[in-house]
Amino acid sequence: MNTIEHVLDLKLKLPEIADAFRLSETVVTGLFTSGASAHAFYEAILAKRLKMSAAESDSDSYSLVSKSNEGVTYGVRCMHQHGVSFARYSNIGASRKFSEQDFIDRTQSLTGYYVIDTENFPIVPVYFISSALVAMMYEDQLINRAAYLSRGNFFKLVKYFDEQTLAA
């Protein structure tokens, strides 16, 4: 099923996080708005909130696994100010190469992705996007050849699916 929807808002307590890490709120905000540095924290928080289990290793093809439905797995992606990539983290960044086959295999193995919008930290919206929709967008070149979706296009999709839901 092709779908994208807002799932929940993580309402994190910036002063408490800063105090726990013994860092300034400015530094913590910088860390938690960077997908690369905050991904593991968000994944753990989301697993707890959604009553799922986190992957045992970064090398697993999934991030979260359902406790109630054996074998149902999800990816977790952080969206920053420019957008979100659905490629494996090992395929993103300087001196790394995007592997289309890795992307296709991973997308086919997942039920969908939870996309964490880090830009409004400490209020962090979480969206669900089905793997079927990600695969369709990739095939139709609505996301680029590196499996990257711009922030603007992501929210156009959210608005489109919200309007479709209201019309139904």
- Angle, helices 100-109 vs 131-139, to 10°: value is 150
| Distance from the Cα of residue 28 to its chain's centroid | 20
CATH code where residue 55 lies = 3.40.210
Whether the pLDDT of residue 16 is over 60: the answer is yes
**Lowest-pLDDT range of 54-63, 116-125, 130-139, 142-151:** 54-63
Q: β-strand 73-79 against 52-54: which pairing, if any?
A: unpaired
Strand partners, 100: none
What is the residue type of 27? V
**Taking the model in full, what pTM does it have?**
0.90
List the domain range (segments joined by +) for residue 29: 4-167
Whether the pLDDT of residue 22 is over 90: the answer is yes
Tell me how far apart the alpha carbons of residues 56 and 98 are, in angstroms, rounded to a whole number.
24
Q: What is the pLDDT of residue 94?
A: 59
What is the tally of structural domains in the chain? 1
Compute how many other C-beta atoms are within 10 angstroms of the C-beta atom of residue 1.
8
